[in-house]
Amino acid sequence: MTLQPVPELQHRTVLLEEAVEALAIEGERADGVYLDGTFGRGGHSRAILAKLGPRGRLIAFDKDPLAIATAQQIADPRFEIVHDSFATLDEALAARGIAQVDGVLMDLGISSPQVDDAARGFSFRLDGPLDMRMDTTRGVSAADWLATADEQQIAKVIRDYGEERFALQIAKTIVARRAVEPISSTRQLAALVAQAVKTREKGKDPATRTFQAVRIFVNQELEELEIGLEKAFRQMAQHGRLVVISFHSLEDRIVKQFMASKAHAPQPDRRLPIRAVDLPRPAGRLLGRVKPSDTEVAGNPRARSAVMRSVERLEAAGAQP
């Protein structure tokens, strides 16, 4: 599948100033190494570059070929784009001889251009091929997966990743329909879900949860998030910061629990004779939770569900297991 850029599709970067401010790129840290785990259309990357010093370095990651094409237009020797998931960041850093980084930003989910381009298959409101892959050069499309997965697997994905209470009914409807004809378009899948879901919250399309679930599964988003968080924190220099923007509860729960685990030291057995000075110390410090302002949401309704969380590493990378 060959994708062509769609110039009229615009992306408004959510929490742009807040995220870059949370990285604390100032003083000596301005000449550090930073990672943008999800380049998208480059809003955060360009803002980070504007803060970097002359010896600073920014390495961005993205799986989307169109994001890579956009990134390649940035003519800045301090910047480099990697066509891969942020879950591979340790390999990318090792290949470049980089031992630690000063900050990592992850802006999760999908971008407006991806949703608004019917050819990508992410939207139930636009008719297009049922693809849903972030990286159209590899992996299995949503159509191919739905054509081969069994009923129980489809139901489990829709229930677990979409938090959909009608998951089993939807799975049964999909399996019954594919026996008659291939399910190859977004309009077909949306119609099948609407047929299976009898009630839904006011103002919410019946297909919302199913499309979210299939997209997350096809792209292994939650698995990559868990891997990427751990690798990012492990590579962090002392006082380095990890900043993550998520857009739905499943992502935010993973981020919240991960950061909380770094901000709380493991507690030894109280019966052991351990001095206070020898007690384990937390590896990180929570920096708080930020939501978009009313003004930002008014100008960009898709920002409404965004949540930004940050954690600072208290010890240098390698100082603690």
DSSP notation for 250-277: HHHHHHHHHHHHHHSPPPPPTTS---GG
Q: Confidence class of residue 320 from pLDDT cuts 50, 70 and 90?
A: very low
Q: Start-end ranges of CATH 3.40.50.150 in the chain?
A: 16-112+221-313
**Token representation of residue 219:** 């792209």
**Can you tell me the distance from the alpha carbon of 176 to that of 75, in angstroms, rounded to the nearest whole number?**
52
Identity of the amino acid at 40: G
Q: Confidence class of residue 201 from pLDDT cuts 50, 70 and 90?
A: confident
The answer to whether 114 is a known ligand-binding residue is yes
Pick the CATH number of 124-219 from 1.10.150.170, 3.40.50.720, 1.20.1080.10, 3.40.50.300: 1.10.150.170
Report the pLDDT value the prediction gives residue 223, as an integer from 0 to 100.
Answer: 97
CA dist list (Å): 31 to 6, 109, 234, 264, 313 = 35, 29, 20, 30, 18
**Can you tell me the distance from the alpha carbon of 174 to that of 224, in angstroms, rounded to the nearest whole number?**
27
Least confident residue range of 76-85, 124-133, 234-243, 262-271: 262-271
Q: Evaluate if residue 318 carries a pLDDT over 70.
A: no
Q: What value does the mean pLDDT take over residues 120-136?
A: 93
Q: What superfamily in CATH does domain 16-112+221-313 come from?
A: Vaccinia Virus protein VP39 (3.40.50.150)
Phi and psi torsions of 145, nearest 5°: -65, -45
Where do we find the tokens 């000063």?
A: 102
Where do we find the tokens 């003004």?
A: 295
Q: What value does the mean pLDDT take over residues 112-141?
A: 92
How many percent of the chain have pLDDT more than 70? 89
The pLDDT tens digits for 170-187 are 999 999 999 999 999 999
- Burial class of 62 by CB neighbour count within 10 A (0 to 12, 13 to 18, 19+): buried
Report the pLDDT value the prediction gives residue 5, as an integer from 0 to 100.
Answer: 42
Q: Evaluate if residue 272 carries a pLDDT over 80.
A: no
Q: Confidence class of residue 3 from pLDDT cuts 50, 70 and 90?
A: very low
The answer to whether 83 is a known ligand-binding residue is no
Q: What value does the mean pLDDT take over residues 247-275?
A: 83
**Token representation of residue 97:** 């001889």
Could you tell me where the beta strands, DSSP code E, fall in the chain? 33-36, 57-62, 79-83, 101-107, 236-246, 284-290, 307-313
Q: Confidence class of residue 2 from pLDDT cuts 50, 70 and 90?
A: very low
Q: Confidence class of residue 12 from pLDDT cuts 50, 70 and 90?
A: confident
Name the pTM for this structure.
0.89
Q: Start-end ranges of CATH 1.10.150.170 in the chain?
A: 124-219
What rounded mean pLDDT belongs to the chain?
91
Enumerate residues 6+ apart whose C-beta is below 8 A from 61. 35, 36, 37, 38, 39, 81, 82, 84, 85, 86, 88, 89, 92
The answer to whether 127 is a known ligand-binding residue is no
Enumerate the β-bridge partners of residue 34.
Answer: 58, 103
The answer to whether 44 is a known ligand-binding residue is yes
**Token representation of residue 260:** 């909380």
Q: Evaluate if residue 10 carries a pLDDT over 60.
A: no
Report the pLDDT value the prediction gives residue 250, as an integer from 0 to 100.
Answer: 95
Report the pLDDT value the prediction gives residue 115, as an integer from 0 to 100.
Answer: 86
The pLDDT tens digits for 55-114 are 999 999 999 999 999 999 999 999 999 999 999 999 999 999 999 999 999 999 888 888
